[in-house]
Amino acid sequence: MRIDILTIFPKMFGPVLGESIIKRAQEKGVVEINIIDLRLFSKDKHKKVDDKPFGGGPGMVMNVEPFFEAVNYIRKKTKDNRLKTRIVLLSPKGKKLDQRLVAKLSKYEHMVLLCGHYEGIDERVAECLADDEISIGDFILTGGELPAMVVVDSVVRLLPGTLGDKDSLKDESFSEDLLEYPHYTRPADYNGIKVPKVLLSGDHEKIKEWRKKEAVRATRNKRPDLLKA
């Protein structure tokens, strides 16, 4: 997969996307991630990418032109690759990110993530350029950079070859509309706080049954909305 991220703060991404599993996925060639400075596509001599909103109001609105120019540049650069592309605008007005949507995005060959800032982005970007608007929750952040990192992290770990053990994905939270069962490791007894005996029994059928019950119990107690859905 190829992921292009358009942002006016490119330095924000290095510490997150240059570490751990995402770093290894890039090194193995599972994913190519490009951070593109949106200011490079501004026609303003001072490389401004925002202006006052028509009709008045607080704050500044990001211009439509740099987004279209940057996406057109990417499309020209990748046209020979015949990539299956999805343009995603990170926005609090978008559909809420969940595991089903993450799985859908992981099937594309190419994602372009658009990061807004300030008061917002000219609406023509959402209407005429983006294929999807995605939100990571019902709260407001200062920009789209952190949501873009969340999308990248959640999508890349689903790509074949990212995780060392492909079975790691099978029983994760939300994989079957359930939260994941509890995990334990050594020591089996820590100051009198003991690991459930069934996990030490070696009986794989009983362990499987216990994990299923615990997943349902955790979901009922912590996220009953998932069971209703």
Average model confidence (pLDDT) across the chain: 93
- Mean pLDDT in residue range 82-106: 94
- Mean pLDDT in residue range 167-191: 81
Taking a C-beta distance cutoff of 8 angstroms, is the pair 44, 65 a contact? no
- Mean pLDDT in residue range 109-135: 95
Number of domains in the chain: 2
Residue 49 predicted with pLDDT over 60: yes
Q: Collapsing DSSP states into helix, strand and coil, what is residue 222?
A: helix
Asked, for residue 35, whether it belongs to a domain, the answer is yes
Same domain for 82 and 145, yes or no, is yes
Give Cβ neighbours of residue 139 (< 8 Å, ≥ 6 apart): 92
Residue 54 has which token pair? 């028509």
Q: How confident is the model at residue 165 (pLDDT cuts 50, 70, 90)?
A: low
Asked, for residue 164, whether it belongs to a domain, the answer is no
Residue 173 predicted with pLDDT over 70: no
CA distances from 183 to 186, 197, 207 (A): 11, 13, 12
Taking a C-beta distance cutoff of 8 angstroms, is the pair 151, 90 a contact? yes
Same domain for 180 and 121, yes or no, is no
Same domain for 214 and 180, yes or no, is yes
Same domain for 93 and 193, yes or no, is no
pLDDT of residue 80: 67
Burial 126-147 (b: 16+ CB within 10 A, else e): beebbebbbbbeeeeeebbbeb
Return the minimum-mean-pLDDT range out of 133-142, 161-170, 207-216: 161-170
Q: How confident is the model at residue 175 (pLDDT cuts 50, 70, 90)?
A: low
Residue 13 predicted with pLDDT over 70: yes
Which residues constitute the domain of residue 196? 170-228
Return the minimum-mean-pLDDT range out of 26-35, 41-50, 71-80, 131-140: 71-80
The CATH code of the domain that includes 151 is 3.40.1280.10
pLDDT of residue 167: 58
Same domain for 109 and 27, yes or no, is yes
Q: How many CB atoms lie within 10 A of CB 197?
A: 10
Asked, for residue 29, whether it belongs to a domain, the answer is yes
Kindly report, residue by residue over 186-196, the tens digit of the pLDDT: 999 999 999 99
Same domain for 136 and 184, yes or no, is no
pLDDT of residue 160: 96
Same domain for 202 and 142, yes or no, is no
pTM check: above 0.85 = yes
The CATH code of the domain that includes 186 is 1.10.1270.20
Residue 119 has which token pair? 């008061």
Q: How confident is the model at residue 81 (pLDDT cuts 50, 70, 90)?
A: confident
Taking a C-beta distance cutoff of 8 angstroms, is the pair 117, 142 a contact? yes
Same domain for 113 and 213, yes or no, is no
Asked, for residue 163, whether it belongs to a domain, the answer is no
Residue 143 predicted with pLDDT over 90: yes
Asked, for residue 11, whether it belongs to a domain, the answer is yes
